[in-house]
Homo-oligomer: A and B are copies of this chain.
Amino acid sequence: MSNGEFDVIQRYFTASKRPRRKDVIVSIGDDCAITEHSRNQRIAITTDTMVENTHFLPTIRPADLAYKAAATNLSDLAAMGAEPAWFSLALTLPKIDSLWLDEFSQSFFEVLNHYNVDLIGGDTTKGALHVITITAQGIIPKGKALCRHSAKVGDWIYISGSLGDSAGGLALLLRENGATTKSAVENVSISSLNEYDCRYLIQRHLRPTPRVLLGFELAVSSLANAAIDISDGFLADLTHILERSQCSAVIHLEKLPLSASLIKVFGAQQAERFALTGGEDYELCFTVSEHNRAKLERALMHMGVAYTCVGQIHGFNPHHKKRLRFQRDGQLVELVDTAGFDHFR
């Protein structure tokens, strides 16, 4: 850890509000943190960056930004089935703004406390844009990690929660902010602007729930074969599973879990488009064998997270080159424009 901006770290990020874990031997304030592990634990490690104007609007509240930066990393741990443990935070800021830092750090530690995560280090630097990089680490029992490469032909494809709400919320936020630049949402027509529905969608965009408990349960129970979190869009992320597992999939469009609010505000057609290609839902997509389906129902019964079967894994024929096929009410249909979200496009 750099010492350059010791006061910022001392003042905002080492306060007593920070959770302390017993497996952290040395924490913030030395050149490195030191952690300990037991023998049958494996460590899951993920890094995610959020950049102003690319991943969030300059108007975002610091509390929402802190929440989302933490949640996206927790979501990656959830997709692996890991129990969150330690975060490192690299924060680039244009200037030291105490109000901003107060709000950011308070919200950040609320999330960390909720998931029993210890902030073990980081770096605070000066730069023209707000950039937040978190490296998150979690603990996972040996041999239990949920990977992308292990989906099997015949597996059923499940989705937690509902899809597309975050993209809907973003479209509403951009509209509020009077976005006039060419963007993916400029052609979106809005059917209704009920306040409750709009707030719900915006909240789903700003405060996505990382499916930490669900991921952990799926991993330790060995009920799922493969999993990924939906950050780039359902089809884009499912394709990662398909490519790594050398499979294809059939998706039943009428089964996509769409929230009532999303359909009300944007109409059924646009809602489906958001569900398939909108990013940042942070729901889990996981595959389960026929054999484990009944057990899954029992295991997740008391978890309070909805889950929906939306399709099935099939074999992959390299000559056909199609990873994804779609059915609507039993009929094969063709879809266009199913690309995910890519910041460099």
Contact = CB atoms under 8 A, between A and B. Distances in A.
A112 to B, nearest CB: 16
A146 to B, nearest CB: 8
Interface string A1-13: 1111110100000
A129 interface: yes
A131 interface: yes
A237 to B, nearest CB: 7
Copies of this chain per assembly: 2
A20 to B, nearest CB: 16
B35 A42 contact: yes
A300 interface: no
Interface string A292-326: 00000000000000000000000000000000000
A interface residue count range (under 10 / 10 to 19 / 20 to 34 / 35 or more): 35 or more
A111 B120 CA distance: 25
A232 B34 contact: no
Contacts of A79: 31-32
Given A2-B231, A4-B344, A90-B133, 15 more contacts: A1-B47, A3-B237, A5-B342, A31-B46, A31-B79, A32-B76, A32-B80, A32-B138, A37-B37, A38-B39, A47-B88, A47-B89, A47-B133, A51-B125, A51-B127
